[in-house]
Structure 1
Amino acid sequence: MKWNWQQKNWPDFIYSGKALDEFERVFLVESSKLVGATAIINEEEGRKFTIDLMSEEALKSSKIEGEILDRDSVSSSLLRQLGFAPQYSDHRANDKEKGIAALMVDNYETFDQPLSHEMMFNWQSNIIAGSWRIQDIGKYRTSKEPMQVVSGYEGHYKVHFEAPPAVSVPKEMDAFIAWYNDSSPQGTNPISPLIRASIAHIYFVSIHPFEDGNGRIGRALSEKALAQSIGRPALVALSHAIEKNRKEYYKQLEQNNKELTIDLWMSFFSKTVLQAVNHAQKLVRFTVNKTRFFDNVQQQTNERQAKVLSRMVAAGMDGFVGGMSVKKYMKMTGAIERTAIRDIQALEKLGAFTKTGKGRGVRYWLNLGEEFETEKNKFLREQKSTKRLSGIPSESRHP
């Protein structure tokens, strides 16, 4: 079997630019809306949006590779590295959390700078920090063993892809970097945003130049390309959108790694980018809503209530899983039942909480707007389904 890099005209990818015209148009419109939305929010809201988006991207990009990181540790590391927090504020973050945060910050601060070997060496050093099993850190792979993407178990492996041999990598990466910089908006041969970001990703991961970290760096390169196209850093939630479609993402990479024709990959990737832009737009609205939410209630809440509200907001845009109950409130705050009920009722009266259910099924939800009630709606659907399955009419379960 021949892989794409073994084809005669590698790396001249074949695609129909016309097929992406509508995607390109929508991307320019929606990304302009996103830039406009971030331009009119205040400095504090802008900082929160930046940290929230970068934290989520760091977590999702790592999760795609099977690594689960702590959100608070990643956020604290981002705050420190961006200069928004004291030097040692991220002491609880481990090497992987600090490393992915460092990649995000460098990509944020240098988005408009040309790509270089040194830039990617630095990224890889950061995200592989603390990995004892990796030999080649901060440099391209050197092993004579084939670099393969495999699944299965010993004796029954399936090879999904085999990258160029290590001896070819420096030359391949020279060509990749030259193409990447030449195709930028300031380059000698600029190409449209979605085409460039799509090719950058599949081109880079096809070379697979590093012993580890190729997926995270490949997504960072696409985000850098998109940021350059709109002239602003860190505004596209690409890893979030890819993680939601992770199986399809790997399927498309596999389907497009044997030939140079990549129309299917570019269509998938373009749709994913548009989902990422829409998610970032929603995150701007969430950031504004939660800031104004706290402005409205912070002077009227006690320490227990403030702690619970912060924990619920930290759950993100979908909402707090399962809603807040009296028992959960007691566990979070250490309050006795009577105090917990009084606190919750005060938050409901204040407009911070909305209430659903009756009796033991009562749950309370943050009042941030219908757009951010995914978990609430999911919970209500599950409750309704449970009542149907039990044969107990919902009207009579709690008489």
Structure 2
Amino acid sequence: MVEPTYLYEYPNWTHFTWDNGAILEPLTRAVALQGKLLGRMEQFGFDVRQDTEFHQLTEEIIRSSEIEGEILNAEQVRSSIARHLGINFENGVHPSHHIDGVVQMMLDVMHNFASDLTEERLFGWHAALFPTGHSGYFKIAVARYRDDADGPMQVVSQKARDTVVHYRAPDAPQVPGMMSGFLDWVNHSTNTHPLIKAAISHLWFVTIHPFDDGNGRIARAVTDMLLARADDTSLRFYSMSSQIQKEKKGYYDILEHSQKGTSDITGWLNWFLICLAHSIESAGLVIDRIARKAVFWRENALLVRDERQRKIINMLFDGFDGHLTSSKFEKIVKCSQDTAGRLLKDLAGKGILVQEGAGRSTHYVLAVKAPK
């Protein structure tokens, strides 16, 4: 089988081109949604803005790792974010050193979005992803570019008994020079639309594939940094990685197609902008839910004083998994079954919860359901 010509093998491959007419509609739509979202957030108070940032940062960190098959403990992620942002979030869970490092990486991405992207900064992010110097069972080069000591860098998958090579990265000796050009462009190029620049940065970085592992997560971090520059805010109100996770097959398909193509990246830009628009639209549903929760507490703060009840109401607004029963309440807030039943009936009596079902099927829902 003849090996394909990869994008980086073409002369002047980083002189990317695209069909402006073909991407005009998705770009215009993404820009409009971006402006609408940011304008809407300006109308909310501190509580809604902070809660939205807290939720979306959590989603971005968890889903970016999930795309690569790594499942992070969500409660540890939330606990770490809360601690670093000074948010009161008592869940009794202490984050691992690894998760705390990943959170610090993302906070650096967002809160220092206007700072130059440097090798030192990238190496710091990489070290945060792999604090033990291993990826799974395998020792890798950490906080430095790959050296291909174990052979060429390839993206592969298994199909039956065959190994399928989806991509072969540039040889290691080329990486430092390629990264120097990439960093110079990220920091100094100003003649490209900010959303287009975010899209190009993603493809450019994963095409170089500069590290032994973590390239996808760092590429998405660089993308988030440039999206923050486009938004001109350090606050994260939508999660691109959450949408990429939902559209993961399309994501990998368009990357492979683009990396085996030419410097005409119209297809990649079109996919990226549509995915970005979807992520902003999804954020609107999250904001609806958070805003409704804020209104609820402004109106009912004095009505619900028990911290156990407050915790369960917040969980219902945030999207409770399954039905809320007295046995689930008992386990979540660590109380007796009698106490769980009494606290739930109290909320129902106040018109906050509605009891549904009967017997073993008895469960409770919010009197006014929060948007999902």
Give the TM-score normalised by the residue count of structure 2: 0.88
2: distance between equivalents of 1:140 and 1:8? Answer: 23
2: distance between equivalents of 1:163 and 1:124? Answer: 18
1: distance between equivalents of 2:309 and 2:227? Answer: 41
- RMSD value over aligned CA atoms? 2.6
Cα pair distance change 1:295/1:130, threshold 3 Å? farther
1: distance between equivalents of 2:16 and 2:368? Answer: 46
Determine the structure 2 residue equivalent to 1:176: 182
Question: What per-residue deviation string (whole Å, max 9, x for no partner) do you get for residues 258-303 of structure 1?
Answer: 1123222222111110111122233233222223323444433334
Cα pair distance change 1:12/1:119, threshold 3 Å? same
1: distance between equivalents of 2:6 and 2:184? Answer: 22
Cα pair distance change 1:74/1:337, threshold 3 Å? closer
- What residue identity is the alignment partner of 1:309? I
Determine the structure 1 residue equivalent to 2:303: 300
Q: Which of 126, 130, 140 in structure 2 is aligned with 1:135?
A: 140
What is the CA distance between 1:161 and its match in structure 2? 0.6
Q: Which of 237, 240, 243 in structure 2 is aligned with 1:238?
A: 240
Counterpart check, 1:62 vs 2:65: yes
Asked if the contact 2:23/2:266 (under 8 Å) is kept, the reply is: no
What is the CA distance between 1:155 and its match in structure 2? 6.3
Question: What per-residue deviation string (whole Å, max 9, x for no partner) do you get for residues 14-60 of structure 1?
Answer: 32122221222222222122222222222233222212111111011
> What secondary structure, in the 3-state scheme, does the structure 1 residue paired with 2:256 have?
helix
- What residue identity is the alignment partner of 1:243? Q
What is the CA distance between 1:250 and its match in structure 2? 1.2
Deviating more after overlay: 330-339 vs 167-176 = 330-339
What is the CA distance between 1:149 and its match in structure 2? 0.6
Cα pair distance change 1:246/1:367, threshold 3 Å? farther
Determine the structure 1 residue equivalent to 2:152: 146
What is the CA distance between 1:153 and its match in structure 2? 7.5
Q: Which runs of 5+ in 1 are unaligned?
A: 373-399
> What secondary structure, in the 3-state scheme, does the structure 1 residue paired with 2:124 have?
helix
Determine the structure 2 residue equivalent to 1:23: 26
Determine the structure 2 residue equivalent to 1:323: 323
Asked if the contact 1:305/1:343 (under 8 Å) is kept, the reply is: yes
Asked if the contact 2:355/2:365 (under 8 Å) is kept, the reply is: yes
Cα pair distance change 1:178/1:76, threshold 3 Å? same
Question: What per-residue deviation string (whole Å, max 9, x for no partner) do you get for residues 201-249 of structure 1?
Answer: 1111010001111111111111111211121122331011111111221
Asked if the contact 2:152/2:168 (under 8 Å) is kept, the reply is: yes
Determine the structure 2 residue equivalent to 1:47: 50
> What secondary structure, in the 3-state scheme, does the structure 2 residue paired with 1:31 have?
helix
- What residue identity is the alignment partner of 2:242? H
1: distance between equivalents of 2:175 and 2:368? Answer: 50
1: distance between equivalents of 2:255 and 2:92? Answer: 35
Asked if the contact 1:148/1:162 (under 8 Å) is kept, the reply is: yes
Q: Where in structure 2 are the equivalents of 1:1-399 lying within 5 Å?
A: 1=3, 2-84=5-87, 92-132=94-134, 133-144=138-149, 145-152=151-158, 156-183=162-189, 187=190, 189=191, 191-233=192-234, 234-260=236-262, 261-301=264-304, 302-313=306-317, 316=318, 319-333=319-333, 339-367=339-367, 369=369, 371-372=371-372
Asked if the contact 2:64/2:242 (under 8 Å) is kept, the reply is: yes
What is the CA distance between 1:131 and its match in structure 2? 4.0
2: distance between equivalents of 1:75 and 1:335? Answer: 23
Asked if the contact 1:37/1:284 (under 8 Å) is kept, the reply is: no
- What residue identity is the alignment partner of 2:351? G
Question: What per-residue deviation string (whole Å, max 9, x for no partner) do you get for residues 99-133 of structure 1?
Answer: 22011100111111232222211111111213433
- What residue identity is the alignment partner of 1:256? S
Q: Percent identity?
A: 30
- What residue identity is the alignment partner of 1:77? S
Asked if the contact 1:134/1:211 (under 8 Å) is kept, the reply is: no
Cα pair distance change 1:368/1:164, threshold 3 Å? farther
Question: What per-residue deviation string (whole Å, max 9, x for no partner) do you get for residues 148-195 of structure 1?
Answer: 111118962111111001110000011111222233xxx3x2x12332
Cα pair distance change 1:326/1:26, threshold 3 Å? same
> What secondary structure, in the 3-state scheme, does the structure 1 residue paired with 2:259 have?
coil
> What secondary structure, in the 3-state scheme, does the structure 1 residue paired with 2:41 have?
helix
- What residue identity is the alignment partner of 1:4? L
2: distance between equivalents of 1:235 and 1:308? Answer: 24
